[in-house]
Amino acid sequence: MSSPLIVGLDAGTSSVKACVFQVSGEPIRQAEAEVAISAPRAGWVDLDLDLYWQSVTKVFRRVTDGLEGIAGLGLSVTSPTTVLFTKDGRVVRPGIPYLDNRGFNEVADLSAALGGVTAFQDYVGNRPIPSTCSVGTVRWIKREERESWERTAKIGFLNTFLAEKLTGELSVDPTTASYSGLVRVSMPDRWDERLTDLAGILVHRLPPIRSPYMCAGAVTKQAAGETGLPSGLPVAVGCADTAAAGFALGLKQRGDAFESAGTSDVLTFCLEEPEFHPAFLNRAHVLPGRWLAHGAMSTAGGAINWLRRQIFHELATPADLEREAEKSPPGANGVVFLPYLAGERSPIFDPSARGLWLGLRLGTERADLIRAVYEGVAFGLRQIYERAKARWGFELSCLPCVGGATQSRLGLQVRADVLGVTYKALAFQNAAAYGAALLGGIAGGVFRGPLDPNLPPLRSTVQIFTPRQRNRVVYDTMFSVFDGLYPRVKEAMHALP
């Protein structure tokens, strides 16, 4: 008899990916489909959930065709994405992902009701911003879309939606609930009565909070017909994508860390106590009694892509961009770049921050401008790392790195040099899908639980990038300039139209 297979779905804002793995951790099939988001107004982002489900069924059919022996399915989702349901389980309106800002004023009102920003952070465990407080979005709908609200019986999230489509059951997990503004992140397995009362949300409108690896239900006959998945297949509740990736990479102990490097960039640390820092986005981990602190940069890889697509069109590929940047020495001949092209999250949390090159002279060349962007991204990551060291005493010797930016040899070497940390870049890009598949394996009885010693590590080839000490002095000098620059130009940034 062949060994069972496990399936993971990684549901993002730009694409959905389904991957099939052997229980040894070896990937055997994967498929990806694009999804579209719309921006009906500035600052608003909607997700057409019917079209989204079509993309999900497409990737499931591709990876399951002709396969037998699937034992479990798990879900990894972008978080938070607000989804409203009617009493019969249909969606009320398009989903609203974390990129949306229409709940900004509502979140500010909740923060004020709790005593202000600091009081909110101390009680909830996160900053009062829409991307970590999705109840602000719900309150906006309640105020501005009365017809939608009157049809709403349940409030959920993206894994709530996917589990309902697959199994007919509603649920959510602590990693996702951590960004709702309706739980205290230190106690993420229960809705907080004080917060639900302040928000005016009745608890019976919210789905039950269940562990990510618990079985949400079994694939229905209807869902089986749409997806190609076997009817009766156990489906795990699932979790947020960064938590799934952390689970796949084995983050268990205090100070374990990894970097997810893509359009945005997230440096994640594992905590054994809910000892949060306001420069980080904080959530529960998949593992009981563990938390994750995310230092999230908004446009790390996005700044690199911006260079190629908007500024230097003649450099047609990422490799062309890197070759040009390598013509400039470490330190970019005295040019420094602030990578705040869509505001910034960690560590400054300023949506009005702007990108900036400093140090231009008549002799400045294109290569200097490009290299400064690679270095500016690394300096932003070092700011996050320095705050983690100061708050928790963390010292990294080796940092696993996943995501699209692992294809950039220059970018990873600069990161290693600037942070003084050895980078381990994994070739396999779908760590979140693997984490989701492991959750499915637990729900399906293949593994005993999230601490089962038989859980296999993610199998991937790696590239190692070690810090080069010869660059330390120049990077320390340039980092000092970078670190002090934003406070000096903040007022001018905010004055710009």
Phi, psi of 29 (to 5 degrees): -150, 145
CA distance 388 to 223: 44
∠12-16-22 over CA atoms, to 5°? 115
At 495, list the tokens: 């004055």
Distances, alpha carbon 129 to alpha carbons 9, 146, 274, in Å: 27, 23, 19
Strands (DSSP E) found in 369-438: 398-402, 422-426
pLDDT at 43: 87
One-letter identity of residue 216: A
One-letter identity of residue 122: D
pLDDT at 42: 85
Number of residues in the chain: 497
**Cβ-based neighbours of 220, under 8 Å, separated by 6 or more:** 166, 167, 168, 231
| Strand pairing report for 398-402 and 257-261 | parallel
**Cβ-based neighbours of 481, under 8 Å, separated by 6 or more:** 336, 358
Q: What residue has token string 């047609």?
A: 316
| 447 Rama class: left (phi>0) / alpha (psi -120 to 50) / beta | beta
Domain with CATH 3.30.420.40 in the chain: 5-242, 247-426+467-497
pLDDT tens, the chain, 497 aa long: 578 999 999 999 889 999 999 999 999 999 999 998 999 998 899 999 999 999 999 999 999 999 999 999 999 999 999 999 999 999 999 999 998 999 999 999 999 999 999 999 999 999 999 999 999 999 999 999 999 999 999 999 999 999 999 999 999 999 999 999 999 999 999 999 999 999 999 999 999 999 999 999 999 999 999 999 999 999 999 999 999 999 999 999 999 999 999 888 999 999 999 999 999 999 999 999 999 999 999 999 999 999 999 999 999 899 999 999 999 999 999 999 999 999 999 999 998 999 999 999 999 999 999 999 999 999 999 999 999 999 999 999 999 999 888 889 999 999 999 999 999 999 998 999 999 999 999 999 999 999 999 999 888 889 999 999 999 999 999 999 999 999 999 999 999 99
Would you tell me how many other CB atoms lie within 10 Å of the CB of residue 51? 13
Class level of CATH domain 247-426+467-497? alpha beta
CA distance 485 to 168: 52
**Cβ-based neighbours of 28, under 8 Å, separated by 6 or more:** 5, 20, 21, 22
CA distance 38 to 52: 12
pLDDT at 36: 87
Note the pTM of the prediction, 2 decimals: 0.95
CA distance 271 to 260: 17
Distances, alpha carbon 96 to alpha carbons 264, 367, 416, in Å: 19, 40, 36
What DSSP character marks residue 310?
Answer: I
pLDDT at 59: 99
29, 447 in Cβ contact below 8 A?
Answer: no
23, 448 in Cβ contact below 8 A?
Answer: no
CATH code of the domain occupying 5-242 = 3.30.420.40
Specify the 3-state DSSP secondary structure of 463.
strand
Q: What is the dihedral of CA 219, 224, 229, 234, to 10 degrees?
A: 10
